[in-house]
Structure 1
Amino acid sequence: MKISLNWLKQYIDLNEISTKEIVDKLTMSGLEVEDVVDENELYKNLIVAEVRSVAKHPNANKLTVCEVYDGKETLQVICGAPNVAADQKVVFAPIGTIIPNGNFQIKKAKIRGVESNGMICAEDELLLSDDHSGIMVLDSDLKPGKPITEALNLNDVIFEIAVTPNRPDALSHVGVARDLSALFNRDLNLPEINLKESKVKAENIASVEVSDFVNCPRYSATVVMNVQIKESPEWLKNLLTKIGLRPINNIVDVTNFILHELGQPLHAFDLDLLEGKKIIVKSTEQENEFVTLDSKERKLPPNTLMICDAKREVAIAGIMGGENSEINPSTKNILIESAYFNPSSIRKTSKALQLSTDSSYRFERGTDPSITKYAAERAAQLIAELSGGEVADGILDVYPKVIERKEITLRYQRVTKILGYEISKEKIHQILSRLGLALKDIDENSLLVSVPTFRPDLEREIDLIEEIARINGYDNIPVVPKINITLEKKTDQQKFEDDVRIIISSLGFFEMINNPLESEWEARLTGNPIFLANPQSAEMSCLRTSLFAGGLNSVKRNLNYGIRNMMLFEVGNVFQKKSDSTINTFDDISEKQNLILILSGNEEEKSWYNEEKNFDFYSLKGFVNSFIQKISLDNQLTDSYYSSENEIYSYHFTKNFKNQLVGKGGKVKKDVLSKFDINQDVFVFEFDLSALKQITPDVKKYIEPLKFPKIIRDFAFVFDKSVQYLDVKNFILEKASSLLKSVELFDIFERESLGSDKKSMAFTLEYYDESRTLTEDEVDKDFNYLITEISKKFNAKLRG
């Protein structure tokens, strides 16, 4: 937003205050000044000059050799403009001048062999307009040598201010002046209204009706009769031009002036073009089309707030007027709209139409409902003065439910506690009063503050304290001495969680964090759902019973983004009912911490030295065992393997400590994956970390490397499907001699050729002795004995 310093000075005395000080104070108070344009610096050395004579350039058809008098001497200047002529007063840039547009310096030069000692400027070169059709011709009464900063009134300073969305009150010159009034403790002077009204009553020549008070709580209007549409005076055009607006005519320019003066958007209708001389504010019921002032036909969605006359729409409320009621050269009577619209309504319409204007920018952030009447009368007064019109007696003001001022109690001790230093009561009163807040019920400990409607952001005591802090200056907050902070030591549980995360991350897994709430069907996959009393949605209606569903949702999201290879883990709390009965207290719920590992996609990518390899059941088993080993529980947990299907795994295995289950996982069934829209294999293992933490690891002892060779034997049997791997392993260890040190399952599969109720399991047996070398005979004796015993015990058949 652009703010003119000269314009600001109409409302506050800023004499003897430097531009730098204004910039610093505004920025430190929250109105950040992003750019400053000082016209006295921008147009430095540019002066009025007189063209004494012109002659054709001897070596160029489109160039002219001019004799230019700068008030002291006559200089030869080459000019390429087609409109240059003798006796003109022009803007002249002597040698050494910096041209505003392009920021280049004028030097003595030879152009096509002829010397040139300066430059005659066009409007675009001075950043005064986009016109480059010719040089800028000045008033003939101006004296050569006069600085153009004086001749053209280019002595302003323009601030570019970034206004945050919570400060709609600062979107005007008066709003910024109000902050400066508080910052420098100077009076704010608002323009006085001195209307000379005619005997004609406004209510007799126009009427206003509002049918949607939710989106239009207040609508004010004045009527000005017998206006003459013409060009605005120089002072008004100059102010608008300085902030980047293009002057149009005296009526439209006044509405733009009021918008940037007070922050209240206005719209002027040609009253004679309004059917029935009536304004009706209502929302559309269905989609329709409307032609706006920019001659574009726009599709209006249903429930768009519109300004209508007795028969048709004439403006999109708060955004842009229509062609059918715009001010034109023959306009005689006008109606000035000054309303307060619901910010959310304007924001929604502006977004739907992809149309943002100066008016909508302010309305959707929140204007002041209390200023509509004042703004309308201020505009009527200026229009009457500039157009020769008459202001109708009275104002049309529809305001059925007044928006009241908020009242907030401010405690002095609270100010001191929050800011960390004491500000005197007098200073607090001064700051709040200068900001336009009314002080009531003042006592020794507190005061009651009445907040004006132009500050919708001030709702609580802490908001008032922030206002005091920013106006008094954040740089006045005292420096706090350095404090030595001793960090609290981590608990054993926190250390255990950190160790788990470090171990899993070192294995190549990436951590995910999922919502502890899930849908009912997801919760039922792994447990008995615990329902929330007031869920936000069906997708978050239950506490999670496992990390399983959240993990599969993460797999789904990754697949949607084209990431097919995943190694994911999560550490989080899960919840279960302690019984099937109704939950009455938190004691009926158990909470524990779990760890889930998820593998999906390729374990190894295809390359010139390697074949592609997918993650499989044994990949999962390997990572699980690596994790168990790294937390020193590798020799304390036992495995159980299951090939029969359960609810979520097609085959799986468990980790157990004595008779306690501490982890379970395997290959997820395809019909479960299809519920999550996952079209590739996923392998999952979930630990009960709460249970794992309770296991005390065995003390690790150094074992001397084996000095004698091992003997390895393999065999495979066909078993009934009901036979469990752990039962076979325990039987082998029980029947074998002390020479057998290890039994491991290395293959398990089912095939139709084996029989529908059969499965094959293959084992590796490891023999050795720490004190001698074993013979083949003694190993074969034990090995063959085990074959016989397994065949008898399990009715198994040795595979060849």
Structure 2
Amino acid sequence: MKISLNWLNDYIDLKDISIDEIVERLTLAGLEVEEIIDQSKNFQNIVVGYVKEKRKHPNADKLSVCIVSDGTREYNVVCGAPNVQEGQKVPFAKVGAKIPFNGLKLEKTKIRGELSEGMICSEKELGISENHDGIMVLNSELKEGTPLADALGMNDIILDIAITPNRADALSHIGIARDLSAIFDRPVKLPEVRLKESNFKSEEIASVEIVDVVNCPRYIGKVVLNVEIKESPEWLKNRLKSVGLRPINNVVDVTNYVLYEIGQPLHAFDLDNLSERKIIVKCASDGEKFVTLDSKERELTSKDLMICDAHKPVAIAGIMGGENSEVTSSTKNILIESAFFNPSSIRKTAKRLGLQTDASYRFERGTDYDITVWAARRAAQLIYEIAGGEVAKSEIDVYPAPFPKKSVELRYSRIKKILGYEIPEEKVKKIFINLGFEIKKEDDTKISLIIPSYRHDIDREIDLIEEVARIYGYDKIPEVDKISVTLEEKIDQTYFNDEVRNILISLGFFEIVTNSLLREDIAKRFGKPISVLNPQSIEMTHLRPSLLPGMLQAVLNNLKVNEKNLKLFEIGKVFERKHDNEIKSFDDFYEKESLIIAITGNAVEREWYEKDRQYDIYDLKGYVQSFLLKLLSLSNIEIKKVTDTNEFDLAIQLKYNETILGQGGIIKNELLKLFDIDQNVLAFIFDLDLIKSIQIPKKEFKELLKYPKVYRDFAFIFDETVEAESVIEIIKKSSSKLLHHIKLFDIFQSESLGKGKKSLAFQLEYYDENRTLTEEEVDKDFWNAIKTVEEKFNAKLRGI
């Protein structure tokens, strides 16, 4: 957003304040000044010159030799422009000046044998316009020697300010002036609108109907008849040029001037091109075509708000007018539009059409619905002054459901509690009055403020406190040498996530961060995704229901650069519908934090002393166990094989006290093909929210075992379908408390065992913490386990 300092001074007196202080205070108040452009520096050493004499160049037919005066001395200048004449006042660049158009530094030189001590410039060479037909001829009343910047009114300083999306009120000179008024405690001087109106009324000449009152809550129409369309006066053109706008004609220039003055977009229609002189605000039809002012045909949908006359559309509401109603040199009668449009509607249409204008930029952020009448009257006043005509009395104001005034209460004690220092109550009130807030009521402890209609971003007490802080000065917040903060271990989310990262990094994993938005077909493959109302592209239409697709894309990106051995992890939020119905409330979907780890490639690289080995399910299981043991010191976790998962062929599930904390395994080939991955990838997905909720057992010292352990081994022949885990479960259930650990130490298959058979060998560990076990009690427990296994699985004991 470009702001002219000269223009700004029309509304607030800043002449005695340095530009550096203005820039610093604006930036501290949240309006960051990104660039300062001093126009006068473009015209250094360029002055108003007077052509005293012109003669033909003796050695060139198309060149002239001029004598140019700057009021103190005369210069010999060779000029090639056909329109240079004696007696003219011209822009004269002296030796040492830099030409704005190309940065060329002028030197004293000879051209075809004649001395040239400078240059007479065209508008293009000065960077003023594209006109290069001849030199620029200045007003003859200008005094020679006057700096050109002063003569052209281009001695301005332009501030390029970054406006945050919530500060739509600052997208104008008066909006910036309001903040400066509060910062420097100086009054804002709004232009006085005094109209010389005719006897006829706007509503007698034109009419307005709003069909879609949701997307257009208010529409103002103001009629001006018998105007003369011509070039704008220099002061108006200079104002527009200073903020980067191209002057068009006096009526259009006025609408742009008011836009940058107060922030209200306006549009001027040729009233005679409006059928029945009627305006209807309604949505377009699907597939409807419309040609905008840039001569491009746009295809519309039923969600696009349009400004129509009695028979046809004439503008895309809040974005751009149409060729069929634009103001041209033949226009005599105009209708000024000043409206308030629903920001969401304008944003969606502008986004879909890829068409952003100065008007849409403001409408989609929220304009001031109360300033619409003032803006229309201000435009009518300026049009009357520079284009003549007759201004209709009153305005057509269609406002079916006026917005209620909003008020918010502010407690003085709350300001001190939030900011950490006390601000005088009178200073607080002065800040809000200068910002345009109205005091509704007050007492010794609090103040109730009516929020101005241009501050859509103010809803709560904390918003008011932020206003006080940014105007009074964030730099006034006192420095504190020491702040004591107590955090409960493992409860603070940031601390917990940092612990997760540190543990995984210690296990050799690298963190990745992927996009939380996915393409629709990918998102639906991994769950019930939630669609985004206003997606940036077709690749980012749905929120991710799983971290797995992002991980697979990261694996692919690494494989493409020949990084094939990977250990990666990501912490992130996932989002999923609870059912297939439309989302109407927060109860219809869930959001949770997940952790995914993935391994692929070789676990061991080939060396002279060992062969290479690819990662397998046991590596994944080991990393899961190590991670949880380091994070929560949990030993009684279960990792079991599961079937029937959408993502994994050989899947394992993590359980703690019957709560499923996550699952993973070898990713299905069909998913790997979806991402063009040609090697096995193993992954495990943890539910971090559930893991955080686990009550960590208090660590206690346990005395070392004083009594010996007793070990027993046995092996059984089972059907090959029997899993070791089910055998271990049966042994545990049939044994006494003396059995503390069961270990599978051998799996053997051979034709000698029989077809469809396998041998599983187990080691059982017995002990008692308070005494030495006897052979009899261990044997009793051990043989009972053997008997149970034989009966339960029809197994055959191989040996002891």
Match for residue 787 of structure 2? none
Quote the Cα distance in structure 2 between the aligned partners of 1:347 and 1:665: 42
How far has the Cα of 1:155 moved from its partner?
Answer: 2.9
Secondary structure of the structure 1 residue equivalent to 2:125:
helix
1:361-760 correspondence to structure 2 within 5 Å: 361-477=361-477, 479-483=478-482, 485=484, 490=489, 505-510=505-510, 556=552, 558=554, 566-567=566-567, 599-603=599-603, 613-617=613-617, 619=619, 680=680, 682=682, 720-721=719-720, 745=745, 748-749=748-749, 755-759=754-758
Alignment of 1:313-352 (within 5 A): 313-352=313-352
1:448 Cα deviation from its structure 2 partner: 1.6
Q: In structure 1, what is the Cα distance between the partners aligned to 2:644 and 2:149? A: 85
8 Å CA contact 1:197, 1:391 repeated in 2? yes
Shift of 1:483: 0.9
Q: Supply the distance in 1 between the matched residues of 2:662 and 2:17 (Cα, whole angstroms).
A: 75
Q: 1:570 to 1:795 in 2, by over 3 A?
A: farther
SS for the counterpart of 1:444 is: coil
Greater shift in the superposed pair: 682-691 or 413-422:
682-691
Identify if the C-alpha distance between structure 1 residues 700 and 267 changes in structure 2 by more than 3 Å, giving closer, same or farther. same
- Deviations along 1:164-222, one digit per CA (max 9) or x if unpaired, are 11111111111122222222222222222222222223222211111111001001111
Give me the whole-angstrom Cα distance separating, in 2, the residues matched to 1:628 and 1:346.
51
Instruction: Tell me which residue corresponds to 2:116.
Output: 116
The 5 A counterparts of 1:59-458 are: 64-103=64-103, 105-111=105-111, 114-458=114-458
AA matched with 1:16: D
After TM superposition, the structure 1 stretch with the greater mean CA deviation from structure 2, 686-695 or 556-565, is 686-695
Separation (CA, whole Å) in 1 of partners of 2:384 and 2:272? 18
CA contact (8 A) 2:747 2:758 kept: no
Give the Cα separation in 2 of the matches to 1:324 and 1:316: 12
Corresponding letter in the other structure for 2:454: F
The amino acid across from 2:138 in the alignment is L
Change (3 A) 1:717 1:638: farther
Give the corresponding residue for 2:34. 34
Whether the 8 Å CA contact 1:52–1:67 is kept in 2: the answer is yes
Residues in 1 aligned to 2:552 and 2:476: alpha-carbon distance in whole angstroms = 53
Give distance in 2, aligned partners of 1:389 and 1:663: 77
Contact kept, 8 Å, 2:724 with 2:744, in 1: the verdict is no
Q: Is the deviation greater in 110-119 or in 676-685?
A: 676-685
Corresponding residue for residue 545 of structure 1: none
- 1:743-790 deviations in Å (ceiling 9; x for gaps): 985664578x975422367999xxxxxxxxxxxxxxxxxxxxxxxxxx
* Amino acid in structure 1 at the alignment position of 2:757: K
Identity of aligned residues (%): 50
CA contact (8 A) 1:637 1:656 kept: no
Structure 1 residues 749 and 331, CA gap change in structure 2 (3 angstroms):
farther
The structure-2 alpha-carbon separation of the partners of 1:318 and 1:324, relative to structure 1 and needing over 3 Å to count, comes to same
The one-letter amino acid paired with 1:470 is R
Name the amino acid aligned to 2:271.
L
Tell whether the 8 Å contact from 1:205 to 1:277 is kept in structure 2 after alignment: yes
TM-superposed CA distance for 1:61, in Å, is: 6.7
Helix, strand or coil for the counterpart of 2:220? Answer: strand
Alpha-carbon distance, 1:550 to partner = 6.5
Q: Report the alpha carbon displacement of residue 595 of structure 1 after superposing the two structures with TM.
A: 10
Query: Which deviations, in whole Å up to 9, do the C-alpha atoms of 1:110-154 show, x marking residues without a partner?
Result: 456654322222223323223344332223343432222332223
Once residues 406 and 640 of structure 1 are traced to their aligned partners in structure 2, the CA distance between those partners, rounded to angstroms, is 57
More displaced stretch, 276-285 vs 602-611: 602-611
Of 81-90 and 173-182, more deviation after overlay is shown by: 81-90
Q: Which amino acid aligns with 1:295?
A: S
Q: RMSD across aligned C-alpha pairs, in angstroms?
A: 5.1
SS at match of 1:303: coil
Asked if 1 retains the 8 angstrom alpha-carbon contact of 2:652 and 2:665, the reply is no
Secondary structure in 1 matching 2:252: helix
TM-score normalised by length of structure 2: 0.73
Alpha-carbon distance between aligned partners in 2 of 1:161 and 1:334, rounded to the nearest angstrom: 34
Change (3 A) 1:601 1:239: same
* 1: CA distance, partners of 2:658 / 2:232: 90
Question: Could you tell me whether the CA contact under 8 Å between 2:202 and 2:221 is conserved in 1?
Answer: no
Q: Equivalents in 2 of 1:44, 1:356: separation in Å?
A: 36
- The CA distance in 2 between the partners of 1:67 and 1:35, in whole Å, is 40
User: Would you say the 8 A contact 2:225–2:334 is kept in 1?
Assistant: yes
The residue number in structure 2 matching 1:522 is none
Pairs aligned (count)? 694
Aligned partner of 1:582 in structure 2 is: none
Which amino acid is 1:374 matched to? W
The structure-2 alpha-carbon separation of the partners of 1:83 and 1:602, relative to structure 1 and needing over 3 Å to count, comes to farther
**1:399 maps to amino acid:** Y
The 1:609/1:308 distance shift into structure 2, 3 A limit, reads farther
Q: TM-score, normalised by structure 1?
A: 0.73
> Distance in 2 between the 1:380 and 1:237 partners?
18
Q: Distance in 2 between matches of 1:654 and 1:329?
A: 77
Q: Secondary structure at the match of 1:351?
A: helix
CA offset digits 1:27-52 (Å, max 9, x no partner): 22222222223334443332111234
Q: Separation in 1 of the partners of 2:514 and 2:354?
A: 36
- Secondary structure, aligned partner of 1:208: strand
Q: What's the CA shift string for 1:255-277, capped at 9, x where partnerless?
A: 11111111111111111111111
Residue 403 (structure 1) shift: 1.0
Going from structure 1 to structure 2, the CA distance change for 1:501 and 1:48 (only over 3 Å counts) comes to: closer
The 3 A distance-change label for structure 1 pair 750 and 205 is farther
Residue identity in the other structure for 1:378: R
Unaligned runs of 5+ in 1: 516-534, 539-548, 574-592, 702-714, 732-742, 765-792
- Deviation, 1:76, is 2.0
Post-superposition Cα deviations, 1:614-640, rounded to whole Å, max 9, x if no partner, equal: 323564577689889999x99x99999
Deviation at 1:288, TM superposition (A): 0.9
Cα shift at 1:347: 0.7
In the alignment, residue 181 of structure 2 is paired with which amino acid? S
How far residue 85 of structure 1 moved from its aligned partner, in angstroms, is 4.2
**1:227-263 CA deviation, whole Å, 9 max, x = no partner?**
1212222222222222222222221111111111111
**CA 1:417–1:665 in structure 2 vs 1: closer, same or farther (change >3 Å)?**
closer
AA partner of residue 480 (structure 2): P
Question: How many angstroms apart in 2 are the aligned matches of 1:488 and 1:94?
Answer: 70
CA contact (8 A) 1:283 1:303 kept: yes
State the AA in 2 paired with 1:758: K
| CA deviation string 1:352-411 (max 9, x = no partner) | 111111111111111111111111112112212222211122211101111122111122
- Structure 1 residues 499 and 203: alpha-carbon distance in aligned structure 2, compared to 1, 3 A threshold: closer
CA contact (8 A) 1:182 1:431 kept: yes
SS of 1:137 mapped into structure 2: coil
- The answer to whether the 8 A contact 2:715-2:762 is kept is yes
In structure 2, give the amino acid aligned to 1:184: F
For 1:317, the aligned partner's letter is A
Equivalent residue, structure 2, for 1:543: none
